[in-house]
Amino acid sequence: MFTGIVTDVGEITALKPGSQAGDRRFTIRTRHDMKPIAIGASIACSGCCLTVVEKGDDWFAVEVSSESLAKTHLGDWRDGSRLNLELSLKVGDELGGHLVYGHVDGVGRIVSMTPEGGSVRFVFEAPAELARFVASKGSIAVDGISLTVNEVDGNRFGVNIISHTQAVTTLGQAKAGQAVNLEVDMLARYVQRLLEHRP
């Protein structure tokens, strides 16, 4: 489990086929101290919970299944791609964002980016099946970043990204049209489920 507070921006330094057909193995450079991180630990990589299968002083490797490659934008990662990293939550850690599970619900895209005061107004488009879970003033994880939704218009929603968030996440180098991993707030999903099954 995670909080959506990015703790490092990593970089893909190598990719090759995984141990199973269709899988892919990524090596990721990080500024995190990898010594206390065990093989088998979970790290959120641009919102996708992945398992450490090998590590060094300033890098770790993960294997991504063909299913995850198909349901996220991880299949677009290349040598040099930058990604948001967050170590898994420990008991007693501050919950600075919202509860994020690292289970990507779908792939959206950046529609536009417009400077607005000291921030940038991002407009994202979600797949139709996810848009119903996005609510004004609710939480959503975009590429693993916990964000508060400002407004919703159909399948699109707006978020103001402050300069700090731009500086410490991949949103600082984002471009219109870019794909993003989306994870809707689990509370919204359960509320929708309950409403669907009301007598």
- Given this model, what pLDDT does residue 92 score? 62
* Greater pLDDT, 17 or 97: 17
Mean pLDDT over 145-174 rounds to 96
Whether the pLDDT of residue 28 is over 80: the answer is yes
* Greater pLDDT, 89 or 110: 110
- Given this model, what pLDDT does residue 74 score? 94
Do 110 and 186 lie in a common domain?
Answer: yes
| Structural domain includes residue 51 | yes
Of 124-133, 134-143, 171-180, 190-199, the range with the lowest mean pLDDT is 190-199
**To the nearest whole number, what is the mean pLDDT of the chain?**
91
Q: Which of 87, 121, 144 is the last residue of a domain?
A: 87
Q: Are 26 and 18 in contact (CB under 8 A)?
A: no
- Say which CATH number the domain at 161 has: 2.40.30.20
- % of the chain residues with pLDDT over 90: 76
Q: For residue 134, what pLDDT band results from cuts at 50, 70 and 90? A: very high
| Structural domain includes residue 94 | no
| Structural domain boundaries enclosing 189 | 106-193
Do 113 and 183 lie in a common domain?
Answer: yes
**What total number of domains does the chain contain?**
2
Give 77-97 pLDDT, tens digit per residue.
Answer: 999 999 999 999 776 666 667
Q: How far apart are CA 161 and CA 147, in angstroms?
A: 8
| Structural domain includes residue 96 | no
Predicted TM-score of the model (pTM): 0.91
Do 18 and 83 lie in a common domain?
Answer: yes
Give 169-198 pLDDT, tens digit per residue.
Answer: 999 999 999 999 999 987 766 666 666 666
- Given this model, what pLDDT does residue 27 score? 98
| Structural domain includes residue 2 | no
